[in-house]
Amino acid sequence: MAEDGPRTSGTRRRRSRLLVVVLALVLAYGAADAADAVPGVLTTDPVPPDARPFPELALPGGPVVAPTVEGPDESAEVPTRAGLEELVSAFESDPRRTGSFGLVVADAITGEVILDHDGETPRSPASSLKVLTGAAALAALGADRTLTTSAVLADEDTVTLRGGGDTLLAPGEGDPSLTNGHAGLADLAEATAQALRQRDVTRVDLDLDDTLFTDPLYHPDWGPIDRTFVSAIQPIALDSGRSGGAYSDDPGVDAAVAFADALEERGVEVTGIDRGAAPQEADVLATVESAPISAVVRHMLRESDNSLAEVLGHLVAVERGEDADFTGSTAAVRAVLRDLGADVSAVTMADASGLSPATTVPPAVLVDVLRLSDDPANRNLHGLVPGLAVGGLDGTLSDRFTGDAAGYVRAKTGTLVRSVSLTGLVLTADGRPLHFSLIASDLSPGTGSLAHLAMEDLVTDMAACGCA
């Protein structure tokens, strides 16, 4: 029992030394914490003062209020012919305008023509022609229709990329919130690779099937300058045929290369790319869908996309059983408009985009198609006018009508060397919506920009006037 005493005493001394060490460490860490040298909750810094309230700023001119644009008012007074003629007289004598012009203005509620200044004479509409192409595409294809791009198994080791008219494909993943890039080739490649793995296929040839459209790729009226504003017309493309900041002369191959790269990234070896049509009964491996035609037409109108306009014209030809070339496209567009009730007897269409100066349209026909698009019976066309660019806001009008008329004008612009145009809808100060089409043609070379300014002033005056 005597031996227990020294062991207990030694244990107590060791415990005391341990407590001293622990206490020293705690005090040292606490000091470091208070000095903010290590993470913790203690600090020797003074207590920060309460936050000062955010100063109230007095904005010059009072509080910021978002501008509002009044909607159409069926009880609003209709401009008189005499009131509009005053504006036309000013435009007629404007030194910035050369050549001649045609103008038609109609009440968008009743459809009654209020003013017709040489509106039956066919003139080169430039890109205002896209109003006709857009209307025909909506009517023939349907506003809700989508365009399918597919990958099919042509034989046991050949995959065919089949173009179905979507020329707004993304090379990577698609974005459902977008029109340009709605469907993505990376998504198509992912689904295709999965389907091939299920068949134990890891190495394929790739064919491009772009036979939905037929040659020529370019309209013969389009010269070298025109081709800087349009791609070769094929039924499959990335970003409407743009490649490296320019328009491609083979957008289908560009899409095929992007698809092949996406397959390689997913473990499928692509041994080569060629052109070839797969049998219609070939097994479908995967598909992706474009945005609805209503959104595609809106994108075409707002951005004045020449390539997309021609593609839509070719698709109308396919739908109507015509040859999917420029001749079939223009014949099909005219036929659809005629079926809608438009008098196209004086319309000459060389192409569907308005690039060709051989295309001529009376302003009265453009206004008539706008009127038809508002007809309750033409449900598919109801997105035509809302698809036009808004003055001072978006598309080709983002930097035009930025003054008092901002938000009061929706229009399709048009510009060629000797012709400029505006076609759309303007809301008057009284709240009356008016359809209009203004085409100035036979311009002196180099005066197009000045003519555009004169046109904007005329339409701005129409928006500002009561004219009753």
**Which of the four pLDDT bands, split at 50, 70 and 90, describes residue 110?**
very high
One domain for residues 426 and 310: yes
Lowest mean pLDDT among 57-66, 113-122, 258-267, 389-398: 57-66
Query: Tell me, what's the pLDDT at 401?
Result: 95
**Which of the four pLDDT bands, split at 50, 70 and 90, describes residue 4?**
very low
Nearest to 103, CA basis, from 114, 90, 115: 115
Are the CB atoms for 343 and 368 separated by under 8 Å? yes
Residue 112 has pLDDT above 50, yes or no: yes
Query: Tell me, what's the pLDDT at 444?
Result: 95
Q: Concatenated DSSP letters for 20-43?
A: HHHHHHHHHHHHHHHTTSSSSS--
Give the angle 402-404-407 at the CA atoms, nearest 5°: 65
Query: Tell me, what's the pLDDT at 412?
Result: 98
Query: Tell me, what's the pLDDT at 29?
Result: 54
Among candidate residues 291, 310, 344, the one where a domain is terminated: 291
Residue 124 bears catalytic tag = no
Query: Tell me, what's the pLDDT at 280?
Result: 87
Cβ-proximal residues to 441 (8 Å cutoff; 6+ apart), any chain: 99, 100, 101, 102, 123, 124, 418, 419
One domain for residues 301 and 432: yes
The answer to whether position 46 is within a domain reads no
d(CA 20, CA 76): 93
Which residues partner with 153 through β-bridges?
159, 283
Residue 304 bears catalytic tag = yes
Query: Tell me, what's the pLDDT at 285?
Result: 98
Query: Tell me, what's the pLDDT at 57?
Result: 61
The answer to whether position 49 is within a domain reads no
Q: What is the CATH number of the domain that holds 398?
A: 3.40.710.10
**Which of the four pLDDT bands, split at 50, 70 and 90, describes residue 83?**
very high
**Which of the four pLDDT bands, split at 50, 70 and 90, describes residue 71?**
low
One domain for residues 191 and 205: yes
Quick one: average pLDDT of 425-452? 95
Quick one: average pLDDT of 96-102? 96
One domain for residues 390 and 410: yes
One domain for residues 192 and 332: no
Lowest mean pLDDT among 48-52, 239-243, 381-385: 48-52
Are the CB atoms for 75 and 428 separated by under 8 Å? no
Residue 79 has pLDDT above 70, yes or no: yes
**Could you tell me the residue range of the domain that residue 312 belongs to?**
81-142+296-464
Query: Tell me, what's the pLDDT at 3?
Result: 40
The answer to whether position 76 is within a domain reads no
pLDDT in tens, 19-42: 444 455 545 555 555 555 555 555
One domain for residues 189 and 135: no
Cβ-proximal residues to 126 (8 Å cutoff; 6+ apart), any chain: 354, 413, 414, 415, 416, 419, 420, 421
One domain for residues 98 and 191: no
Q: Are strands 203-209 and 409-416 parallel, antiparallel or unpaired?
A: unpaired
Quick one: average pLDDT of 230-253? 96
What's the number of domains the chain is made of?
A: 2
| Residue 100 neighbours by CB distance under 10 Å | 14
- Tell me if the pTM is above 0.75: yes
The answer to whether position 13 is within a domain reads no
Are the CB atoms for 400 and 159 separated by under 8 Å? no
The answer to whether position 173 is within a domain reads yes
**Which of the four pLDDT bands, split at 50, 70 and 90, describes residue 7?**
very low
One domain for residues 160 and 287: yes
Structure tokens at 142: 């349907």
One domain for residues 453 and 319: yes
One domain for residues 320 and 212: no
d(CA 211, CA 192): 21
Residue 369 has pLDDT above 70, yes or no: yes
**Which of the four pLDDT bands, split at 50, 70 and 90, describes residue 311?**
very high
Instruction: Write down the mean pLDDT value for the chain.
Output: 90
Q: What is the CATH number of the domain that holds 177?
A: 3.50.80.20
The answer to whether position 58 is within a domain reads no
Nearest to 397, CA basis, from 463, 314, 316, 319: 463
More confident site: 73 or 71? 73
Query: Tell me, what's the pLDDT at 245?
Result: 85
d(CA 115, CA 437): 11
Structure tokens at 238: 């990335």
Report percent pLDDT > 70 for the chain: 85
Among candidate residues 266, 291, 316, the one where a domain is terminated: 291
Nearest to 183, CA basis, from 173, 194, 197: 173
Selected catalytic residue, list 124, 130, 294, 307? 130
Quick one: average pLDDT of 269-291? 95
Cβ-proximal residues to 227 (8 Å cutoff; 6+ apart), any chain: 218, 247
Query: Tell me, what's the pLDDT at 468?
Result: 72
Radius of gyration of the chain (CA): 34
Quick one: average pLDDT of 260-283? 95
Query: Tell me, what's the pLDDT at 31?
Result: 54
- DSSP-based three-state secondary structure for 320: helix
CA 271, chain centre distance (Å): 35
Selected catalytic residue, list 304, 356, 373, 437? 304
Residue 290 bears catalytic tag = no
Lowest mean pLDDT among 72-86, 154-168, 248-262, 423-437: 72-86
One domain for residues 253 and 332: no
Among candidate residues 291, 312, 333, the one where a domain is terminated: 291
Selected catalytic residue, list 127, 231, 243, 356? 127
Nearest to 143, CA basis, from 281, 3, 295: 295
The answer to whether position 38 is within a domain reads no
The answer to whether position 373 is within a domain reads yes
Query: Tell me, what's the pLDDT at 58?
Result: 63
pLDDT in tens, 313-345: 999 999 999 999 999 999 999 999 999 999 999
Angle between helices 363-373 and 326-340 (to 10 degrees): 60
One domain for residues 400 and 303: yes
More confident site: 228 or 28? 228
